Amino acid sequence: PISKEVGQFGFAAKAVGQDISLVERMMRGLTNALTENSTEGEKARRTLRDLGVSTRDELGNIRPTSQILQELSEGLNRIPDAIDRNRAAMDIFKRVGIEAIPMITELTENLRIAREQGFGPTEDDIRRFTEYQREVTELETKWDGLMRKFKAGLVTTLSVSIKWIGAGVKWFLDN
Residues 26-46: tens digit of each pLDDT: 888 888 888 888 888 899 999
Query: Secondary structure of the chain: what % helix, strand, coil (to 5)?
Result: 80, 0, 20
Average pLDDT over residues 146-151: 88
Rounded distance, CA 170 to CA 114, Å?
77
Per-residue pLDDT of 77-115, as tens digits, reads 999 999 999 999 999 988 888 888 899 888 888 988 988
- pLDDT, residue 8, reads 87
Question: Are the C-beta atoms of 95 and 86 separated by less than 8 Å?
Answer: no
- Please check the confidence at residue 25 and state whether its pLDDT lies above 80: yes
Rg of the chain (C-alpha set): 29
Look up residue 56 and give its DSSP letter: B
Rounded distance, CA 161 to CA 48, Å?
77
- Please check the confidence at residue 124 and state whether its pLDDT lies above 90: no
- Please check the confidence at residue 2 and state whether its pLDDT lies above 70: no
